[in-house]
Structure 1
Amino acid sequence: MKNLTPKIVLFFLLGLLFYSCSEVRKLQKKQLLIEDNEIIVNNKSVNLEDLHNQLYQKPNSKLLGFKPRLQLYNLSKKNADSSYQAWLLKKPNRLERMTKLYSKKQVNRLGKSFLVSGYSDFFKQVGEAPSILDTARVRKSEIRLQSYQFNRGFFDVKVASKIDSFKNKKVKVTYQINTGKPYVIDSIFRNIDSPIVDSLYQNISGNSLIKTGETYTAENISNEKKRIATEFRNRGLYHFQENYIKRPDIDTIGKKNKLNITFNIGNRIVKNADSTYTEPFKLYKINKVNIFTDKQVKERAIGIDSISYKKFNFYSSGKLKYKPKALVNAIFIEEGKLFSEQDKTLTTRALSNLKVFAYPRIQYVEDATGNGLIANIVLTPLKKYNFNIKGDFTQSNIQLFGISGFTGITFRNLFKGAEILDFSLRGNLGSSKDASIKNSTDAFFNILEYGADVKLSFPRIFFPINTSNIIRKESLPSTSITLGLSKQTNIGLDKENYYGSFYYDWGLNKDETKKFKLDLFNLQFVKNLNIDNYFNVYNYSYNTLNNLAQTYNTNATFEDDAGNLTFSGAVDFINAVTNNAYPLTLPRDNPDYKIINTIGERRKRLIENNLILSSSFSYNLSTKRSINDVQFYNIKAKIESSGNILSLIAKQKKEGLNSNDNQTVFGVEYAQYLKTEFEYIKHLHLYKKSSLAFRFFGGVAVPYGNSNSVPFSRSYFAGGSNDNRGWQAYSLGPGSSLSVNDFNEANLKLSLNLEYRFNIFNSLNGALFTDAGNIWNVSDNVEDEKLKFKGTKSFQEVALGTGFGLRYDFGFFVIRGDLGFKAYNPAKEYSQRWLKDMNFSKTVFNIGINYPF
């Protein structure tokens, strides 16, 4: 090994030398490659993205210190077509021979093939051309850096550049910036021609973004101009635009690093034919509001129906098809109010939110007095009925192949109050070779799922008492009622699922960053149809039980001819052990008894039919404004209570207790629990196309009253593509247990996720991530201490996964693949927990759509 070491080092150094030379091999004689840019501000090197964005020339992109895109570009030919033509003419008669052998058209097509020139075009497209030094662009970068600092209040800034040459035709460009001291705002003045504008300016100046004592920045000046214009247009100045705020006067005469700012706002410019004149601005009120429920109604002279309602004038072709009250609730432009751009925006959004009209058109016309406005709201109704049919191919960990279909119909303006009724049918045919799939035939499609849903939506709070003083119409409230059913066959235990809900949602403020949802009633009834298939589905539980039976079982009726437990015999074996039936008596503190009892308790819980009637309240706060935002945070909180109403019903019905000593309603044991969740997501933009994403989630569901456990559908699991990616879904936890079940779940969950995201090239992105978390049982009927949450001591059982992934952004969705490793595995002995599974043989590969958080 000692003899090999110098050879390995030499080989590595030769490889680096070859790589370095290959970067510049396509440069011409006097061309130089920019290896690095450095910006030094006041004798300190800085790496601020905003500063580097001012440079006209940047080095080629790097990945782990290498330049893969430049290398790909260098693999291409400069003029592949010309090289091909030169090759054809290099030897006499070559072109003639090839034309006879093929054809002239085929010979030309060969020159454009991938092997001849196509690969060069591909490498140029995915690669990156060398960043060649251009001294003229260096000078332009100096000017741009100077302008950048000047706009931030450094009026005495000086910028210089230096070019250092390296070996192998590479250079480094250094920009030296001496900012000097920033200029501070000393006084703010105004020069406003129109008296009404001057008065409004004084009213809004308290919220100014420009304050004395703060450093001058051009960005703050620009933002203040936008704020002033917005405030004026929301306070009656119909004709005011931002360009009426002229460039402020900046006065630094006689002051040391201080300045005075004067805002100049002129009179309104009025055009009259070929001439223009100025006049003072004036306030405009809304004197009339017309609503045209058909965009053609304005051009028609006959067949027009009109009605007035609360100072709103409705016009329609024939009889009005909408209740005026429903439309008025979505209109914020009112007679007698001052003109407001905000009211127009809110009206547009509210009318669109009704989902019975296309994007509305709102026009203002000056009335005869010249001091008022007539608002014309022109609506374009959508089709009353809308059919939707679609199909898709699916694949999952259960079905190898599936065909899903959906058909639905939407009824708009159902009761003439802009109500929406959606009715849909859906189905799925799938194929699986899973042993847990039970089917009496050998048909290819052995999985079937189908269902139906009905949803009725009201664009208001549907409640017997007026709630407008509590939830104002500006928050765009709505009420939804849903009913649905679905059925699965040949999947696990087979299920019938019946559900219904009645909920309200609304936004707290006008930019919709805060949202609330009140789920008044949420009813779910889950019925298991094939409980005899339990141990075929939960095969791990069966194998554990069967192995124990080889030691403790003495009843031959529990076994088949091979000496293994039958599925029904497995149930009998559990009952015999837990009921201390001789000769299977085991002490309760025996570890094997605990395992058998746990499997039995879990089976009993999972085969039970579930009746859940819950109410919940959700809150969502987000600073994300668009899909392209890379810096924002999001907060979600929810509290849910289940079983209290059913408990009152059960006391009135007095059905008695079932075999579990619990109350029932219509013969079904109902769930009773309290559940709360909190999630915080933060995205930070770091540099160029890189960002840092963080998520914390905490949730707990505590059973009480009629329940000593939480239904499976309301419990938590860990692992998977959107959670801890070092583990597969349902395989982590609870606690320090070694995943004792096929699908592990519990009623307490804590998780942390941190992900560094960066661009590789074009639409291909990469990620490095760390995931931490686990699930535990708390305040339920689980007895195994390894599964329970034991306060701060349980933080030693927080699993840690790490890894890396690739994402390809198609624009409207992202496909990602993540490789996760188990860095800290709490299921192992303490000395074996750290970094024992950090190898590719134990890697978990996750595929997902869009980002995990």
Structure 2
Amino acid sequence: MIKNIIYLLLITLVLSSCSTTKYLRPGEKLYTGHKVKLEDKDIKNNESNALNADLTGLLRPKPNASILGLRVKLWIYYKTYTTKTKGFKHWLNTKFGEPPVLVSAVDLEKNSNILQNRLQNKGYFQAMVSGDTIGKEKTARAEYTALPGPAYKIRSITFPKGSESLDTAIAGTANETILKVGDNYDLDVIKTERLRIDARLKEKGFYYFAPEDIIARVDSTITGHQVDIFVAVKPETAERDRRIYTINKLYVYPSYTLQDTSLYLDKAVPYRWYNVVEKRKNKSIRPMAFKNTVLMHPGDVYNRTSHNNSLNRFVNLGPYKFVKNRFDPVDSDSSKLDVFYFLTPQKRKSIQVEVLGRTNSANFTGTQVNLNWRNRNTFKGAELLTLTLFGSSDVQISGQNGGFNVYQVGGQMRLTWPRFIAPFNIKSDNAYIPHTNLTLGYTLINRTQLYTLNSFNGSFGYEWKENIRKTHELNLINVTYVNPVNVTQLYRDSIQSSNNPALQHVIDRQFTIGPSYGFTYTNTAENYRTNTLYYNGRVGLSGNLYGLITGADTLAGKVKKLFGTPFNQYIKLENDFRFYHKTGLNSSIATRLLVGVGLPYGNSTVMPYSQQFFIGGSNSLRGFRARSIGPGSYYAGNTIATDGFLPDQAGDIRIEANIEYRPKLFSIVRGAVFIDAGNIWLMRGNAAQPGAAFGKSFLKEIAVDAGVGLRFDVTVLVLRTDLGFPIRKPWLPDGDRWVLNKIDFGSAGWRKENLVFNLAIGYPF
């Protein structure tokens, strides 16, 4: 039945695509595309392919978009066409449709000239291009024939040899030139070389110099299809462009408004190496707040790096919404610059209310309300204080059992200083402000009829960016204390009857104390790249120093306590690798590998429940319910059906891999086809969970799922829906774990047992 429907849909699409030409007027032909033929056997294949792609990208107009040869957007345009300027049909037509591109819109002569000019700019000075159309009854395409001729190569590059400081500075960059003897002449490379020279001169004090001040003279009259390039300063270059500038005075305006027309230099108050100008008597911020943002000093030779880094630090200083920077020469004949930073404050205090909704695959529906209050200049040093109050509820609205609802209330205080708070000086002069963070929080978790948990947490540490790709996070101390209260007999009886250690771990008293370090590398913001990477690695320690001092050893009966509670002792390592590959302008493949290990020792025989790994759910294996898989081949049974509890399977080791294809379907709609695989394991086995320990056969215990999804990207957020189902169940007997042959979308029983719907915000990775 389903196969027949799929075949019918495919046939309908094909017929629909073919029928788009029937709407054309007599004499009109649909433009189906273009092709460029390079007729030169001397060009290598890889160079020819790159050149062909470059030339093809210049041609206009583009033909109607197609998917697998089907012009779906054009078909939608015709089917929803209306003369009305509003309404649902008009919206469909303009949002998802695309008007026909006709061959009459193609200007062969103009395109040929564009291609010829491009070839000449690439060093093919004798290039010739012609174009023609090849048509059928209702369609036509364009074909361009290019005769590049010989490629002119660079024979020599000469830099200025004058004694002027500007000539000397340019000549000093010659060893870094991107122009290479033997390379093809390329106008784009010459333009890039001018930008390179300009960037280097900006580091040497030439504030007013511009790339347009450089000329590259090309002599192509020599024999052998070669050119000589002479890099020089244009004779008409202004005197100020030739001058090296130094910094004179620096002024910071922390309460600037767009209405201000005066510089108020009479109100300037010197502090260290810069001046702070306040119009009012009451200071809006302490002058010391800028000592980590003003990176230039009087007497310094101007350089663009310090200029940009200072500006970037001001922009990221919390109290300000706008930052304007200006450099003024002291007088017309001076080689000194006064520097001005005009800072427009935003509201110091703000309050925000967030209301969130969520569902999970255990038939629980929840809401959460967050109340966030911020003070962006708490102690007049650009400190950010965030106070958060939150409350949430997860209610089981269907299923065989109800009443085991989850309620949470709590609060958190986070104070962030825009600098390192340390007993010694830590120098930081890149574009990014380092931060010191102090966090304190409390959460009360109540599972009605089961238990209540009081959770206290705190941390103190640092976060800083090494550069645009690398971020470090070092917490000198993390403290978590979880104290269970009001554990009911019902829950204790369930632990005994199910013989499930995971249920006991939930109500264990937990005390963790220790440092952590995290490192992130990413170039995903560099959208021009075909391949991008993301890596996050973390190491967390608890009780290590105190355990060493006290000689804690649970296995030897030496259980040690801190403040009357046994402390957790472990090492935890986490790795998150991601790789993204663009398969086209509107499609990509995303992959992820997660590897984590937690090793309890000394004062602990098991990892604390809050620090263990789990798998499944909307951001993990989407064909399985959250926390329902593992450890290993162990199966706890359908806990939801038997006792109404959420599944709580956790482990000490986690291995997970994901791959997802993400095509763009419409303007705000992206599709997804995914496969997830992974599992969790215990470091040490126990009789209550057979098959849970990590061993040589771990690959046989991998769970696998597949599915499809939609992503609605409305810029502010991405709403994600995924529908997944298992294709390998590790708890089944070895040899029966692959369940591909049991997939039956037509069976209501199979769908109820296997289909998992996930609704979430943002991409899974």
Q: Judge same fold: TM > 0.5, yes or no.
A: yes
Matches within 5 A, 1:225-624: 225-246=194-215, 248-266=216-234, 269=237, 281-295=242-256, 299=262, 306-316=268-278, 317-318=280-281, 322-368=285-331, 370-383=334-347, 385-397=348-360, 399-400=364-365, 402=367, 404-410=369-375, 412-414=377-379, 416-428=380-392, 431-433=395-397, 438=403, 448-468=407-427, 475-490=432-447, 493-509=451-467, 512-532=468-488, 535=491, 568=493, 570=494, 597=499, 599=500, 601-624=501-524
- Per the TM alignment, residue 623 of structure 1 is displaced from its structure 2 partner at its CA by 1.7
2: CA distance, partners of 1:462 / 1:685: 42
Instruction: Measure how far apart 1:804 and its partner are.
Output: 2.6
Q: Distance in 1 between matches of 2:125 and 2:213?
A: 26
Looking at structure 1, the residues matched to 687 and 430 of structure 2 have their Cα atoms a distance apart, in angstroms, of: 48
Aligned to 2:592: 695
Instruction: State the alpha-carbon separation in 2 of the partners of residues 20 and 775 from structure 1.
Output: 48
Larger Rg: 1
Q: Which has the higher mean CA deviation after the structures are superposed, 777-786 or 388-397?
A: 777-786
Pair 749,176 (structure 1): closer, same or farther in 2 beyond 3 Å: farther
Distance in 1 (CA, whole Å) between partners of 2:61 and 2:233 is 40
1:634 corresponds to which of 534, 540, 551: 534
**Are residues 381 and 175 of structure 1, via their aligned partners in 2, closer, same or farther at CA, if it must alter by over 3 Å?**
same
Aligned AA (2:433): L
Q: Residue 427 and residue 30 in structure 1: after superposition, are their counterparts in 2 closer, same or farther (change >3 A)?
A: same
Which of 579, 593, 615 is the aligned partner of 1:718? 615
Aligned-residue offset at 1:502:
0.3
Encode CA deviations 1:237-287: one digit per residue, 9 max, x unaligned.
1211222224x33333234343322223225755xxxxxxx5771101112
- For residue 404 of structure 1, what is the amino acid of its counterpart? V
Any conservation in 2 of the 1:493–1:534 contact (CA below 8 Å)? no
The aligned residue for residue 549 of structure 1 is none
Shift, 1:454, TM fit: 1.4
Shift of 1:680: 2.1
Q: Within 1, Cα distance between the matches of 2:370 and 2:80?
A: 46
Match of 2:57 in 1: 53
1:729 & 1:706 partners in 2: Cα distance? 30
Q: Determine the C-alpha separation between the residues in 2 that align with 1:738 and 1:153.
A: 68
1:619 maps to a residue whose letter is F
Match of 1:19 in 2: 16
Structure 1 CA distance for aligned equivalents of residues 374 and 487 of structure 2: 36
- Mapped to 1, the partners of 2:510 and 2:254 lie a distance apart of 48
Q: Identify the match of residue 707 of structure 2 among 796, 803, 806.
A: 803
Given that residues 195 and 280 in structure 1 are in contact (C-alpha distance below 8 angstroms), is that contact kept between their aligned partners in structure 2?
A: no
1:130 equivalent to 2:86? Answer: no
Shift of 1:769: 2.4
Between 171-180 and 356-365, the greater mean CA deviation after superposition: 171-180
Mean Cα deviation higher: 395-404 or 362-371 = 395-404
- Cα deviation, 1:499-524, whole Å, max 9, x if unaligned, reads 10001111213xx2211111110111
- Return the letter of the residue paired with 1:478: H
Q: Distance in 2 between matches of 1:298 and 1:646?
A: 62
Structure 2: runs of 5+ lacking an equivalent: 640-646, 746-750
> Structure 1, residues 213-249: CA drift from partner, whole Å, max 9, x if none?
3334333223222222222122111211222224x33
Question: TM-score, normalization: structure 2?
Answer: 0.85
Query: Is the Cα contact below 8 Å between 2:61 and 2:106 reproduced in 1?
Result: no
1:34 and 2:38 matched: no
Deviations 1:332-376 (A, max 9, x none): 121110112322221122123331334333222212461211222
Alignment correspondent of 1:733: 630
* SS of equivalent residue, structure 1 residue 502: strand
Equivalent positions of 1:634-653 (< 5 A) are 634-647=534-547
Q: Could you report, residue by residue, the CA deviation over 1:664-699 in whole angstroms, capped at 9, with x for unpaired residues?
A: 222322211111122222222232212222222211
Identity of aligned residues (%): 25
1:431 to 1:757, Cα distance in 2 relative to 1, 3 A: closer
**1:78 Cα deviation from its structure 2 partner:** 5.6
Shift in Å, 1:13? 11
Q: 1:301 to 1:830 in 2, by over 3 A?
A: closer
Change (3 A) 1:717 1:51: farther
Residue of structure 2 in register with 1:745 after alignment? 650
Cα displacement (A) at 1:784: 4.7
Note if 1:75 corresponds to 2:79.
yes
| Distance change (3 Å), C-alpha of 1:768 and 1:403 | closer
Q: Which string of whole-angstrom CA distances, capped at 9 and with x for unpartnered residues, describes residues 20-78 of structure 1? A: 54211110111122345444445989698655432213333223443322221121346
Q: Would you say the 8 A contact 1:717–1:730 is kept in 2?
A: yes
Distance in 1 (alpha carbons) for counterparts of 2:67 and 2:411: 50
- The CA deviation at 1:498 is 0.7
Kept after mapping to 2: 8 A contact 1:451/1:486: yes
CA distance in 2, matches of 1:140, 1:657: 82
What per-residue deviation string (whole Å, max 9, x for no partner) do you get for residues 454-493 of structure 1?
A: 122222211112233xx55655222111111121234663
Q: 1:205 matched to which residue of 2?
A: 174
Length-normalised TM-score, structure 1: 0.77
Q: Which amino acid aligns with 1:310?
A: R
1:381-415 Cα deviation digits (max 9, x unpaired): 444x403031424233375353514141416141x
Offset of 1:739 from its aligned partner?
5.4
Cα distance change, pair 289–301 in 1 and its aligned pair in 2 (3 A) = closer
Q: Tell me whether 1:773 sits opposite 2:734 in the alignment.
A: no
Any conservation in 2 of the 1:268–1:279 contact (CA below 8 Å)?
Answer: no
Displacement after TM superposition at 1:525 (Å):
1.1
Distance 2:12 2:430 in 1: 69
Inter-CA distance 41–697: structure 2 relative to 1 (3 Å threshold): farther
Structure 2 counterpart of 1:761, from 666, 684, 690 = 666
Quote the Cα distance in structure 2 between the aligned partners of 1:454 and 1:13.
Answer: 57
Q: For the residues of structure 1 that align with 2:630 and 2:150, how far apart are their CA atoms?
A: 58
Change (3 A) 1:36 1:407: closer
Q: Deviations over 1:784-820 (max 9, x none)?
A: 55222224x3223333333332222212222222232
Give 2:464's aligned amino acid. Answer: W
**Counterpart-to-counterpart distance in 1, 2:599 and 2:158:** 62
- Name the structure 1 match of 2:748: none
Q: CA deviation at 1:763?
A: 1.9
What amino acid does structure 1 have at the position aligned with 2:422?
A: F
For residue 176 of structure 1, report the CA deviation from its aligned partner: 4.2
In the alignment, what sits opposite 2:642? none
Amino acid at match of 2:458: G
Cα distance change of structure 1 residues 113 and 13 upon mapping to structure 2, 3 Å threshold: closer
Compare 137-146 and 767-776 and name the one that shifted more: 137-146
Amino acid of the structure 1 residue aligned with 2:763: Y
Match of 2:578 among 675, 681, 688: 681
Q: Say what the alpha-carbon RMSD is for the aligned residues.
A: 3.8
Q: Which position in structure 2 is the counterpart of 1:102?
A: none
1:815 aligns with 719
Q: Which has the higher helix share?
A: 1
Structure 2 SS opposite 1:238: coil
Aligned CA distance change for structure 1 residues 448 and 826 (closer, same or farther; 3 Å): closer
